[in-house]
Every structure is written in C-alpha cells, then in structure tokens.
C-alpha cells in the first residue's frame, strides 16, 4: 500500500510538471516581434534566444526601450515619469503575449518580469524590466556597475552581517541594475563614479502591479522602515533603514553613510518615493519637445 501511494505521488508530481510545461510554453520564432506600443517596449530577443529551451520559465525574459527627446527630460513631472513607467509595464505585458506565453485573464503572467524601472537623464529615458530567468548577460562582470554591487556586498558584511553569503537579495536581476547596465552599454566611456558626481542626479523610479491591484511606484528592494538600530541609511536622510538579510538596490542607488554621518558613498540617482502619484494623461509628443528617436540599446548578450 505504501509503495502504491508513493508511486501515485510520483505520477501526480510528473503530471503537475507536464502541466506547467504546457502552461509556460513559449515560441520565440525566427525573429523578434514588432513592438506593439507607443513606447516600443520589446523583448531582448537575442538574449531570450540564447536561453531558448521551449519552456518560458527557463527562458531569459528582459524587456526594454530607449527614448531620445528633443529637449531635456528634467521638465517632465515626476507623476508623468511614473506614467511612462506604468505604460511601459503594460506594453511589456502585451509584448510577451506575442511569444505565445499562456496566461489566464486577470492573472499575472508567471514568466513575465515583475517590474519596470525608468532611468531619466539629459534628453534620454531608458525603460527596462527586471530580468527573469538565467543570467546570460555578456560583459556584466567587467563594468563599474558590477564593481559597485560588489562594494555594496562588502559594506553590508562590514556594517551589518559579516557572515552574509547571499549578497544582493534578488541576485542582481532588478530593473535598476538592468537600466544602469544599458546606460553604461550606451555610454561605455562613463562609469558609476560619473553618475555619483552628477548634479542634478539622474532620476529613477520603479513600478510593479501587485495581485489584483493598480500599478504602483515602489521603493528599491532591500529597504525597510522599522529598524531604529540601523548601521547604514539612505544618504538623503529618508527613513529607510537597512536590516539583516535584506540589502539590495537600496545600497546601489541610494548612497549611504555610517551612523556618525560620514559619507561612505554618494547616491547615484534621485529616486521617486514609493506610492508617489502616477499621471498618464499626456501625449508622448508633448513631453520634452517631442520624441527624436526610439530604439533599443542593443542586446545585453552582444
């Protein structure tokens, strides 16, 4: 009887796995699909193709676009920047459906990245999703971004938990990291030190859609608002504290000081606060003198 029950359990597990394969099936085709939305959010198709296995859960999904305006983007309101990020999130949902990913109406698409991050600077805006699936990015470890992430890990060990082995809580796959990597790919002569020295700072924000809720602006991963026994905190004195087991893009973008107020590393971005208002009541051509060009900053596996 025990043996029969065990066999039945094995068959049940196999059935679930087969069902998941059917639900997560995807077809990348022989060429990328044409982006359907105004912002032209699109899949990093070469990166996905490199990981192709026929199962969406095992593909590398990353979506992005790059918009160049005729005038500086500093005059675009924070709420409108949030609106651009929200529209990009919805376009990502449309684009991934073009590749045959199965989904249930009203439910999250399991293979789809969870966030869209906006990076606004000069006359340009980069919109990038987080990365879902295997990390097959080429040249990532040779960048100043990777070096800063390593520094974040070391500072966390020094000030919070010397035994930490996890590092960045989302394994360096967040939208902030993908957007910054694309920035450095477009401008290889620049580095993270250049970003930290900018005045005014570049602007960043990230949006997601919790289950059955509206799309909202969120804070960078790793931040916490309850601990008063902190060792590191955001450079701008917002009440975000770092706690054991939680560091992420908070350290990367926010800058940090020790408890005595001594600067360890300056911030690299002006981050739009969580739950800030989102405005989508605008025409893209009315922003920053209108659009000059929309493209994708190559593939991250080139």
In a domain, 146, yes or no: yes
For the beta carbon of residue 252, count every other beta carbon within 10 angstroms.
Answer: 28
Sequence-distant (≥ 6) Cβ neighbours of residue 28 within 8 angstroms:
45, 48, 49, 52, 59, 99
In a domain, 226, yes or no: no
Q: For 264-291, write each residue's pLDDT tens digit.
A: 778 899 999 999 999 999 999 999 999 9
- Asked if 45 and 98 touch (Cβ cutoff 8 Å), the reply is no
Model-level pTM?
A: 0.86
In a domain, 239, yes or no: no
Number of domains in the chain: 1
In a domain, 79, yes or no: yes
Say what the pLDDT of residue 6 is.
Answer: 52
In a domain, 246, yes or no: no
Q: Which helix (H) or strand (E) holds 205?
A: strand 202-208
Q: For 74-112, write each residue's pLDDT tens digit.
A: 999 999 999 999 999 999 999 999 999 988 887 889 899
Q: What is the DSSP string of 244-289?
A: TT--SHHHHHH-EE-TT--EEE--SEEEPPTT------S-GGGSTT
In a domain, 252, yes or no: no
**pLDDT average, residue stretch 213-224:** 87
- Asked if 107 and 194 touch (Cβ cutoff 8 Å), the reply is no
Cα dihedral sign for 167, 211, 219, 287? positive
What is the phi-psi region of residue 273: left when phi exceeds 0, alpha when psi lies from -120 to 50, beta otherwise?
Answer: beta
Q: In the structure encoding, which two tokens stand for residue 196, read together?
A: 């930290």
In a domain, 236, yes or no: no
In a domain, 63, yes or no: yes
d(CA 223, CA 27): 37
Q: Which residue is listed with tokens 């919070």?
A: 160
Q: In the structure encoding, which two tokens stand for residue 192, read together?
A: 């993270």
Question: How much of the chain exceeds pLDDT 70, in percent?
Answer: 82
Q: By residue range, what is the domain housing residue 36?
A: 2-151+160-220+268-295
Residue 271: closest CA among 230, 236, 300: 236
């Amino acid at each position: 009887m025990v043996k029969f029950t065990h066999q039945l359990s094995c068959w049940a597990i196999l059935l679930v796995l087969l069902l998941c394969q059917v639900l997560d099936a995807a077809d990348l085709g022989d060429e990328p699909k044409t982006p359907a939305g105004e912002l032209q959010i699109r899949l990093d198709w070469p990166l996905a193709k490199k990981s192709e296995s026929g199962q969406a859960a095992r593909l590398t999904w990353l979506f992005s676009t790059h918009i160049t305006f005729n005038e500086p983007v500093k005059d675009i309101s924070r709420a409108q920047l949030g609106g651009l990020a929200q529209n990009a999130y919805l376009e990502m949902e449309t684009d991934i459906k073009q590749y045959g990913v199965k989904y249930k109406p009203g439910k999250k698409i399991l293979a789809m990245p969870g966030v869209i991050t906006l990076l606004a600077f000069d006359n340009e805006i980069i919109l990038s999703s987080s990365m879902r699936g295997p990390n097959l990015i080429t040249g990532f470890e040779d960048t100043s971004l990777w070096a800063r992430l390593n520094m974040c890990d070391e500072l966390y060990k020094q000030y919070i938990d010397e035994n930490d082995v996890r590092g960045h809580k989302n394994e360096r796959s967040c939208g902030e990291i993908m957007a910054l990597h694309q920035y450095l790919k477009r401008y290889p002569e620049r580095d993270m030190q250049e970003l930290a020295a900018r005045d005014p700072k570049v602007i960043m924000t990230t949006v997601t859609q919790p289950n059955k809720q509206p799309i909202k602006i969120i804070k960078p991963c790793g931040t916490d608002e309850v601990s008063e026994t902190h060792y590191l905190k955001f450079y701008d004195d917002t009440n975000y504290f770092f706690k054991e087991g939680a560091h992420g893009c908070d350290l990367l973008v926010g800058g940090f000081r020790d408890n005595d107020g001594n600067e360890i590393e300056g911030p690299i971005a002006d981050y739009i606060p969580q739950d800030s208002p989102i405005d989508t009541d605008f025409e893209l051509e009315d922003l920053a003198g209108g659009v000059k060009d929309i493209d994708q900053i190559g593939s991250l596996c080139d």
